[in-house]
Structure 1
Amino acid sequence: MFNWMAWTLPVAVFFTCIALMLIGMTVWEIKSPTVMRKGFLPIATTRGDRLFMGLLGAAYINLAFVGMAGWITEWMSLEQEPSIWISFVVSMVWLVIALRKG
């Protein structure tokens, strides 16, 4: 069923984190309904809006890293491509910033 996907540990951790965030946000929304607020994003947003924008940004960060890994390897004269964990950490930092300050 899942043979079409390259299920490596970083990919599994990434999707597990997304599932846990969605569950956590659902419980948080039930316990404490959200209020619209304006942060650094150009529109007033709810927690769910910021989560969606953060996840979208995290996906683009990961895709950009995968797309540029070969170029980074050549540019920095590395023996192998940099670890995907780097983009995972960067995307999670972006997600936290978007949720807190967005």
Structure 2
Amino acid sequence: MIDLTWMAWTWPTAIFFIAIFALIALMGVWEYASPGGNPRYGILRFETTRGDRLFLSLLGSAFICLGFLGLSEISLWWALVVCFGYAVLVFRLV
């Protein structure tokens, strides 16, 4: 059996990974139900699909959370609010 006690598996960590898995699974279901993803040109001036926008929102959210961790003493719940707003903007504008 593998010993994973060195990892910090807490409920917030588990919820984080479950949320990412759920987002990817839901994106797969959405793509199956409506293939193509309606590629479009947004403010970045290159073609993006739903999957591209999900990737950009997850990547940006990771950097937002790292910024909150490294540069402030503010609760990460506020980072989650900022990440959600960022994801909405990415899906609307990019």
- Both structures adopt the same fold (TM-score exceeding 0.5): yes
Aligned-residue sequence identity (percent) comes to 46
What is aligned with 1:23? 25
Unaligned 5+ runs, structure 2: none
1:38 counterpart (25, 38, 41): 41
What is aligned with 1:11? 13
The alignment partner of 1:6 has SS state of coil
What is aligned with 2:52? 49
Q: Distance in 2 between matches of 1:94 and 1:38?
A: 18
1:99 counterpart (80, 86, 91): 91
Superposed displacement of residue 27, structure 1: 0.2
The alignment partner of 1:42 has SS state of coil
Describe the superposition over 1:41-96 as per-residue Cα deviations: whole angstroms up to 9, x where unpaired: 23110110111111110011011111112xxxxxxxxxxx3211111111121112
1:61 and 2:53 equivalent? no
* TM-score, normalised relative to structure 2: 0.81
What is aligned with 1:88? 80
The answer on whether the counterparts of 1:14 and 1:88 sit within 8 Å (CA) in structure 2 is no
Change over 3 Å in CA distance of 1:5–1:40 after alignment to 2: farther
* TM-score, normalised relative to structure 1: 0.75
> Which structure has more strand as a fraction of its residues?
2
The answer on whether the counterparts of 2:39 and 2:49 sit within 8 Å (CA) in structure 1 is yes
Change over 3 Å in CA distance of 1:2–1:51 after alignment to 2: farther
Q: Distance in 2 between matches of 1:100 and 1:2?
A: 40
Matched letter for residue 12 of structure 1: A
